[in-house]
Structure 1
Amino acid sequence: MKEIALYALDIAQNSITARARHLDIALEEGPEAITLTIADDGTGMSPELLARVSDPFTTTRTTRKMGLGIPLLRLAAEQTGGHVSIESTLGVGTTVTAVFCPGHIDCPPVGDMAGTVTLLVQGAPELELTYTHRRGDRLSRLDTGELRAVLGPEVSLAEPEVVLWLRDYLQEQEALLEE
């Protein structure tokens, strides 16, 4: 994966597969670190699985025998001088935190976080998702619960008009962070 946004998408998809109802994605960009945190209330992992989750030959999938998301994220972060930490409790949820050192030549770009979040909302419109992106003293935030409150229960977040609006809104917010 060549962008932090794609790692976020992969880890968030794991959360959805783990039956998460709530998903918090936080991205903080600073001069010393880019920190990506993804927290869910999914099924969580047993201590045994948690101990092996960074092994590429460990997966809970039945369609293939390899799980590369966490190992590749760990490798990408460590190549920059950063690290990955994972906290998980069976039946409670999982939090994955990846720290990248932005000054390192191997640090991947953040990439299209607006596209990632839009895709997650469109693909799992029932998910309660909160996304925050902080760069310096600027903050962008999206809460699907607040969005549902404005739209009402009869409008799905997967409606094409909502998806297009959401994508534009997130792109505008990301652009404001760069000013």
Structure 2
Amino acid sequence: MSLHILDLVQNSVEAGAGRVELGVAEDLKQDTLTIRVTDDGRGMSEETRRKVLDPFVTTRTTRRVGLGLPLIDMSTQRCGGYLIVQSQPGKGTVVEAVYRHSHLDRPPLGNMVETLKTIMVGNPKLDFCYEHRVNGNHFIIRLSDIREALGNVPLTHPDVLVWLHDYLTTNLANLYGGAQDENG
């Protein structure tokens, strides 16, 4: 699912978002996994929003199909879940994918460490926030906090990349009591 998440965030950036919030919530008691991407991009009209789950509808001019949202929608339904897309022109978009956590066909979360690094390093000026909850455990990282701490040191500096990798790996593992690997 980490690749779906990367696609959703990239959609937000391409829609002109300056701020993107990514939330992952795993509630084992409620048996849900929720992925939510909220942005302040240009948003969509109601007509466009109704069509976004059609793979042959896309606003991109470089290709004639848009498979990201239809594939996520299909995977949520296959796992007893659903996809909600809310959007308003000029106000942004919210995409929420909900899965039954224990469903046999639910794809693994995937390599969130590399996905987060790709988002942050690839969009260093983006106001990006990631929040992940697993039952009572909670992890949040804001790209603005990292930029402030680094000052003039770029995110692409080798020492920063090593630190970011270790920081994300440790904190995401701690959500699961330290027993989680990078692939979810």
CA distance in 1: counterparts of 2:153 and 2:15, whole angstroms: 26
Which letter maps to 2:130? Answer: Y
Count, aligned residues: 175
The 3-state SS of whatever aligns with 2:44 is: coil
Q: Does 1:47 align with 2:46?
A: yes
Letter in 2 for 1:28: A
C-alpha RMSD of matched pairs (Å): 1.1
Query: Cα distance, 1:74 vs. partner?
Result: 0.4
Is 2:24 the partner of 1:27? Answer: yes
The worse-fitting range, judged by mean Cα deviation, of 159-168 and 72-81 is 159-168
For 2:116, the equivalent position in structure 1 comes to 117
* Superposed counterparts of 1:1-179, under 5 Å: 4-31=1-28, 32-152=31-151, 154-179=152-177
The TM-score, its normalising length taken from structure 1, stands at 0.94
- 1:69-96: per-residue Cα shift (whole Å, max 9, x none)? 0000000001001000011111111000
What secondary structure is seen at the aligned counterpart in 1 of 2:20?
A: strand
**2:180 matched residue in structure 1:** none
Identity percentage over the alignment? 39
Query: What is the TM-score normalised by the length of structure 2?
Result: 0.91
Greater shift in the superposed pair: 164-173 or 5-14:
164-173
